[in-house]
Amino acid sequence: MRRNIKSYLIVDGYNIINAWDDLKYIAISDLEGAREKLIDLIIEYAEFTGRKAIIVFDAYNIKNSKETVENRKHIQVVYTKEHQTADSYIEKFITSLSKYDDVKVATNDYAEQQIVLGKGAARISSRELKLDLEHAKKSMKEKNSSNQKKIQRNWLEDRLDKETLSKLENIRRMH
């Protein structure tokens, strides 16, 4: 029996923001900007790899916050409810998936990594995620540049000598 295996990348949002210097620097003055930059990077990654990406931001210390889920292009962005950590959300989410699904969880949190591994998912560190993103971006650029080369026009006039081109032009004008 063939199973419909799904591929997921689950990202512990704030953990990754705090692990990457460029995002951590943005977050000092603009947390929303850092979140959006991470979201944009993960959208590109998901688009290229075909993985369903879920970024989880916890609202653990935000009073009266309700869980919200934003569906964006190729990804879901989850903001947890009050008193729920990203770790607990991720753990619960992984448990809801099929044991046959291909699941990667990006976090540097050691306790979370152990839980993830115990649930049968793979864990990747923030560093590995950054390398994966850079590889995907590089591959996309290479793919796009090779597509551009294929799209270049291929006209007869570009391949004929001037004399033959002149004769054909004269024939065209006579008719």
Q: Which two tokens stand for residue 150?
A: 């294929």
> Whole-angstrom Cα distance, residue 105 to residue 35?
17
> Whole-angstrom Cα distance, residue 114 to residue 68?
26
Task: Give 117 or 29, the one with higher predicted confidence.
Answer: 29
- pLDDT tens digits, one per residue of 3-23: 677 899 999 999 999 999 999
Q: Please say if the pLDDT value at position 175 is more than 80.
A: no
Position 68 scores a pLDDT of 86
CA-based nearest residue to 112, from 5, 10, 7, 8? 10
**Percent of the chain residues topping a pLDDT of 70:** 87
Q: In the CATH hierarchy, which fold is given to the domain comprising 7-151?
A: Rossmann fold (3.40.50)
The mean pLDDT of 112-137, rounded to a whole number, is 85
The mean pLDDT of 77-84, rounded to a whole number, is 89
> Whole-angstrom Cα distance, residue 53 to residue 4?
17
Do the beta carbons of residue 15 and residue 107 sit within 8 Å? yes
Provide the 3-class DSSP secondary structure of residue 138: helix
Q: Please say if the pLDDT value at position 145 is more than 60.
A: yes
| Rg value, the chain, Cα | 24
Q: Which two tokens stand for residue 36?
A: 């959006």
Q: Please say if the pLDDT value at position 52 is more than 80.
A: yes
Q: Are strands 75-79 and 68-72 parallel, antiparallel or unpaired?
A: antiparallel
**Domain locations in the chain as residue ranges:** 7-151
Position 154 scores a pLDDT of 64
State the average pLDDT for the chain.
Answer: 84
Q: Which two tokens stand for residue 137?
A: 């971006």
Q: How confident is the model at residue 114 (pLDDT cuts 50, 70, 90)?
A: confident
Position 14 scores a pLDDT of 93
Distance of CA 6 to the CA centre of its chain: 15
Q: How confident is the model at residue 85 (pLDDT cuts 50, 70, 90)?
A: confident
Q: Please say if the pLDDT value at position 147 is more than 70.
A: no
Distance of CA 62 to the CA centre of its chain: 27
The mean pLDDT of 13-41, rounded to a whole number, is 93
